[in-house]
């Protein structure tokens, strides 16, 4: 979900965090890939698919596997050889294993959303749901096809679904097909509208449910119909389809409304019981809710487009309009983390639009934070959803910040934001390669690496601004020791004795208050030197300074 990539002359290498041995869980029943006695050449040594999988695979199979990987973003070659009812490891918290649940629980509809998903992946999702959900609870499986073009998702899938219906006459199978691709957000709306069970679970199609996944969710909703719940997602590696255990975490977001994992509130940890539900500011998109309650608070927002932000909008709305959100550690679903999204690799435009829509409807005076985070505001007609908010008598967003998500930091003291351009050289300040502590001058493109924020107290944050109180921003700094500008976490820069406070007026110099030197351009490079009168301009002024 990254913003548009910027290619610098320097090579940037991002290191992924290593997994602890106990986090990796291998499916021992997985058959070995077809191998040849003679060791085959490695045809795609730089492909992410073959970094940790496919050793000794024949050249013919390597070609097929790589082509399928490019098309789908995960290992379809391997998926096609795995049993549809493969055994998943039990990754639940220890205290979950012995828990008992009532027999008399609400019925559930499971919605699977897909666009050109691999057929074997969809089959395995369906098989896992049928095999691991009690028959008396599972009323229907709803498949929402967002106008797929793959041939095997037509007749071949029809044949499979008819066989499922023949084997399980008690189960209602529903297919919803879009005549044009409307995006994930709209597909979820279609799935929700097609459901008739007491509870609706909206899932991706590239998942496998664990044993006893539904009972903990349904039990909690039976206790309180206003609680929207989510299972804990384990990750399925895109390359070898092994399952990686993920611990329970809250579903959170930043001011750009990108979703993220975060720790629960401190009171959850004080209970010393990881099987207990944890309060969450939002949902990741996979959610389970009482169908009538969700309908009463406006269902899913049909004004959201394509993908991104709709989950945060729903999370905020649930909290403000009489409900709450919880993560249920005893419910586990394994979810494939794609290497890439083949159908839309750059989600930033739809995400930006959806984020600003959510901000306009729900965030009151704090909507400005979302505009600052995205830099370029967009307009949208949200009058209908604002009327819904008034009708439901929902709480103000300040209540949400105070009571649900106090970790979010508000930026009332910002005075300007956007790209910072040197008017003499017609180039912008850029954070440059990360990791690194030297900002650079670069042609102005105004994407994330050039997002600059000027604080009323004089700090200049380069490369974005942090949304949470537990994070630190990266401040432009002058060490006073050389002509190279520095870019460090603000607290670290202060500890090093650097000057992080700058005097700046639109169209004039940027001068360090501690050293008296200016940030300037020299032969295409950013330098700190004796002021020569070079001038700067920032894109957006919030208030005069």
Look up the CATH number of the domain holding residue 514. Answer: 2.80.10.50
Q: Nearest-5° angle of CA 339, CA 342, CA 347?
A: 90
Give the model confidence (pLDDT) of 439-468 as tens digits. 999 999 998 999 999 999 999 999 999 999
- Asked if residue 274 belongs to a domain, the reply is yes
Examine the pLDDT at 107 and tell me if it is beyond 50.
yes
449 and 322 both lie in a single domain: no
* 124-180 pLDDT tens trace: 999 999 999 999 999 999 999 999 999 999 999 999 999 999 999 999 999 999 999
Residue 379 has a pLDDT of 59
| Domain of residue 131, CATH code | 3.90.550.10
281 & 326 share domain: yes
421-431: per-residue pLDDT in tens? 999 999 999 99
Residues 450, 302 share a domain = no
Among 191, 486, 146, 541, residue whose Cα is nearest residue 341: 146
Q: What is the pLDDT of residues 185-197, one digit of tens each?
A: 999 999 999 999 9
* Banded pLDDT at 345 (limits 50, 70, 90): low
Domain end marker among 319, 336, 353:
336
pLDDT band at 307 (very low <50, low <70, confident <90, very high): confident
Total-model pTM: 0.86
Within a domain: residue 4? no
Does residue 120 sit in the same domain as residue 47? no
- pLDDT 10s digits, 200-231: 999 999 999 999 999 999 999 999 999 999 99
The pLDDT, as a whole number, for residue 148 is 95
Q: Using one digit for the tens of pLDDT, what is the confidence trace for 13-32?
A: 233 333 343 343 434 344 44
Distance CA 75, CA 82 (A): 11
For residue 223, being part of any structural domain is answered with yes
Q: State the pLDDT at residue 54.
A: 95
User: Across-strand partners of 440?
Assistant: 430
- pLDDT over threshold 70, residue 268: yes
Domain contains 1:
no
| Whole-Å CA distances, 206 to 128, 191, 356, 496, 504 | 11, 16, 29, 48, 51
Q: Assign residue 328 a region: left if phi > 0, alpha if psi is -120 to 50, beta otherwise?
A: beta
In this prediction, residue 380 carries a pLDDT of 62
Q: Domain for residue 482, yes or no?
A: yes
Asked, for residue 425, whether it belongs to a domain, the answer is yes
Residue pLDDT, tens place only, 465-491: 999 999 999 999 999 999 999 999 999
**Pair 52, 117 in one domain:** no
Does the pLDDT value for residue 61 go beyond 50? Answer: yes
Domain containing 500: what range? Answer: 414-541
Q: How far is CA 202 from CA 89, 144, 311, 338, 381, in A?
A: 23, 10, 11, 19, 27
- Same-domain check for residues 258 and 302: yes
d(CA 385, CA 218): 29
**Does 427 map to a domain?**
yes
- Cα-Cα-Cα-Cα dihedral of 164, 169, 172, 175, to 10°? 40
pLDDT exceeds 80 at position 102: yes
- Say yes or no: 297 and 220 in one domain: yes
498: which strand partners? none
pLDDT at 461: 97
How many domains are contained in the chain?
Answer: 3
Spell out the SS3 assignment of 186-214.
Answer: HHHHHHHHHCCCCEEEEEECCEEECCCCH
Pairing of strands 138-145, 108-114: parallel
Question: Same domain for 324 and 467?
Answer: no
The token duo for 248 is 């329970």
pLDDT interval class at 342 (50, 70, 90): confident
């Amino acid at each position: 979900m990254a913003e548009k990539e910027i290619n610098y002359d320097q090579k940037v290498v991002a290191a992924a965090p290593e997994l602890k041995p106990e986090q990796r869980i291998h499916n021992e029943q997985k058959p070995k890939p077809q191998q040849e006695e003679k060791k085959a050449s490695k045809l795609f040594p730089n492909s992410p698919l073959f970094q940790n999988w496919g050793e000794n695979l024949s050249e013919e199979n390597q070609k097929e596997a790589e082509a399928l990987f490019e098309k789908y973003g995960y290992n379809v070659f391997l998926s096609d050889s795995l049993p549809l009812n493969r055994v998943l490891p039990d990754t639940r918290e220890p205290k979950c294993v012995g828990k008992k649940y009532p027999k008399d629980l609400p019925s559930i509809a499971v919605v699977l959303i897909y666009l050109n998903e691999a057929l074997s992946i969809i089959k395995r999702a369906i098989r896992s749901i049928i095999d691991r959900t009690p028959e008396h609870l599972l009323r229907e499986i709803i498949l929402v096809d967002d106008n797929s073009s793959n041939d095997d998702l037509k007749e071949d899938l029809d044949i499979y679904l008819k066989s499922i219906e023949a084997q399980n006459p008690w189960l209602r199978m529903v297919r919803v097909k879009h005549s044009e691709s409307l995006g994930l957000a709209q597909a979820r709306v279609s799935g929700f509208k097609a459901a008739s069970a007491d509870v609706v679970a909206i899932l991706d199609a590239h998942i496998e449910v664990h044993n006893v996944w539904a009972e903990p969710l349904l039990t909690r909703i039976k206790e309180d119909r206003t609680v929207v719940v989510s299972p804990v997602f384990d990750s399925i590696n895109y390359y070898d389809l092994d399952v990686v255990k993920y611990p329970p975490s809250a579903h959170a977001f930043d001011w750009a409304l990108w979703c993220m994992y975060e720790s629960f509130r401190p009171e959850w940890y004080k209970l010393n019981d990881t099987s207990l539900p944890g309060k969450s500011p939002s949902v990741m998109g996979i959610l389970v809710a009482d169908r009538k309650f969700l309908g009463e608070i406006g269902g899913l927002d049909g004004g959201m487009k394509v993908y991104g932000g709709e989950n945060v909008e729903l999370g905020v709305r649930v909290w403000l309009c009489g409900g709450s959100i919880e993560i249920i550690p005893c419910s586990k679903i394994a979810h494939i983390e794609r290497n890439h999204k083949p159908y839309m690799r750059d989600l930033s435009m739809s995400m930006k639009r959806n984020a600003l829509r959510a901000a306009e409807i729900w965030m009151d005076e704090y909507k400005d934070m979302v505009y600052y985070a995205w830099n370029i505001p967009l307009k949208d007609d949200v009058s209908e959803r604002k009327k819904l908010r008034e009708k439901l008598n929902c709480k103000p967003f300040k209540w949400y910040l105070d009571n649900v998500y106090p970790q979010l930091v508000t930026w009332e003291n910002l005075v300007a934001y956007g790209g910072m351009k040197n008017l003499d050289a017609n180039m912008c300040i850029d954070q440059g390669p990360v990791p690194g502590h030297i900002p650079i001058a670069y042609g102005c493109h105004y994407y994330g690496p050039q997002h600059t924020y000027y604080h009323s107290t004089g700090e200049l944050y380069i490369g974005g601004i942090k949304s949470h109180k537990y994070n630190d921003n990266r401040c432009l700094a002058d060490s006073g020791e050389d002509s190279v500008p520095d870019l460090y976490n603000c607290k670290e820069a202060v500890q090093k004795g650097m000057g992080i406070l700058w005097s700046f007026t639109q169209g004039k110099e940027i001068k360090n208050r501690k050293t008296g030197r200016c940030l300037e351009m020299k032969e295409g490079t950013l330098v700190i030197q004796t002021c020569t009168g070079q001038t700067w301009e920032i894109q957006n002024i919030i208030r005069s300074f």
